[in-house]
Amino acid sequence: MGTNPANDNDTSVEYASSPSASTLRVVNQRDANLLHFWHKLEAQKQLHDEISLRKHVDYSINHIGELLFGNGSSSKLMEAVRPSGQPIVDDWDCFKMLVSTYEKYCGSLSKYGTQYLRAIANMCNAGVTMEQMVTASTQTCS
C-alpha cells in the first residue's frame, strides 16, 4: 500500500506487445476520475464540432439552392431523382467545378455532406454556371 518515492515521476509505461502502446498510461488511482472526465469532455467537444459541421453543411447547401432557384422550387429541384438509365449528371466537369467551388468558399463537404452530391449534380443539370455558384457560395458562407 502507498507509493514508492523512487517511482513518483514515472508516469507512463509502454507495452511493446500492445497495438496502442503509445496511448497507455499509468495514472494515480486518485486521479482516475479526473482522467475519465477529461476524456468525456474531449468527446463532448468532438460531438459539438461534428454537429456544428453538419449544421453548416445543411444550411449552406439549402441556402445556395434557395439563392439559385428561389425559395419555392429549390427543394424540388435539389432533391429530384433522374429516371433509371440516365446518368446522375450530364456534365461531369460542371459537377467537379461546382463541388470545388462550394468547398473553396464554404469548406469541405465532409463524409456527411456527400448526401448533397445529387443536389449539386442537379444544379449542373439545371444549367447553374460557375459564376452563379461563386456568387451564391460567397453570399452564403462569407
Q: How confident is the model at residue 15 (pLDDT cuts 50, 70, 90)?
A: very low
Q: What percent of the chain has pLDDT over 70?
A: 83
Between 13 and 114, the higher pLDDT residue:
114
Does the 53-142 domain belong in CATH 3.40.50.300? no
Give the per-residue pLDDT at 14: 46
Local structure of 86: helix, strand or coil? coil
Give the per-residue pLDDT at 22: 57
C-alpha cell at 86: 440516365
pTM value is 0.75
DSSP letters, 30-72, are GGHHHHHHHHHHHHHHHHHHHHHHHHHHHHHHHHHHHHHH-TT
pLDDT score of 74 more than 90: no
- Domain range summary for the chain, segments of one domain joined by +: 12-44, 53-142
Residue closest to 3 by CA, chosen among 40, 37, 28, 39: 28
